[in-house]
Amino acid sequence: MIYNKKNKYILLLYQMVIPILLVSICTIILAKDKKLVELDLGLTVDSVTQATPGYSRGLTPPHLRKETGKKRPAFMVVRGLKNLALYKPVSSKEEETVIGDIDQINDGIKKSDEFNYVEFGPSIGWVEIDLKEKYAVHAIVIWHYYRNAVIYNDVIVQVADDAAFSRKVMTLFNNDHDNSAGLGKGRDKAFYSRWWGEIVDARGRDHKGVRARFVRVYTGTGMEEEPPRFVEINVYGK
């Protein structure tokens, strides 16, 4: 090749400009993919009972989260998440429910009225949802019965690779501050069940979520001896 000024510029183009362009294009694509959006829980007037029940009297457990009265900050997630729990197989520690059918836990209905909840006997139990395959789980949202102001004890949320919870068990939330459930002391706060649901964060620092197939939500009785009652559980992932 005859080395002249024109060839020099062409070589420079190949060696520097094109790689820079390629890196820039990839960066833009990745940034677009990582752009976060607010998790839409479908909290419309028609889909939840937007009542604000009064506070129970005299309940001041040391680990109760203070309610500010302000709207919860937007929970930002990667694009493309959906409720993977909807209509998937659901089971519980107790064979029988006291009120309702266990399938109501993930039927998509979040209203807290006299027909739309599942009640279990008065002990610490759990409900489990089989997502049918492994997914990246980013958030688990729980609606306990919220028509009355109830603080449920021992809310523990775990994910695992098997139904018996023996493989790759990960605890994502635990507010059992005195270890009465026997799964270890939890540092998470107790909370009043509310119509906006309790979000358990599984996003991780890099927004990759937590890979799992099975989700378990433990719940004890309420602090005023209310029986464990579930309205709905959503599992957001992809």
Give me the residues that bind Ca ion (CB under 5 A), please.
104, 107, 109, 154, 176, 178, 180, 232
CB of 122 to Ca ion, least distance (A): 14
The least distance separating Ca ion from the CB of residue 121, rounded to whole angstroms, comes to: 17
Pairing of strands 90-92, 198-201: unpaired
CA distance 231 to 120: 12
* Residue with nearest beta carbon to Ca ion: 180
Minimum distance, C-beta of residue 116 to Ca ion, in the bound complex (Å): 6
Q: Write out the DSSP string of 53-78.
A: PPPPTT---TTBPPP-SSPPPP-EEE
Residue 123: count of CB within 10 angstroms of its CB: 11
Query: Shortest approach of Ca ion to residue 178 CB, angstroms?
Result: 5
Which C-beta is closer to Ca ion: that of 128 or that of 176?
176
**C-beta closer to Ca ion: residue 27 or 179:** 179
Cβ closer to Ca ion: 102 or 136? Answer: 102
178 or 224, CB closer to Ca ion?
178
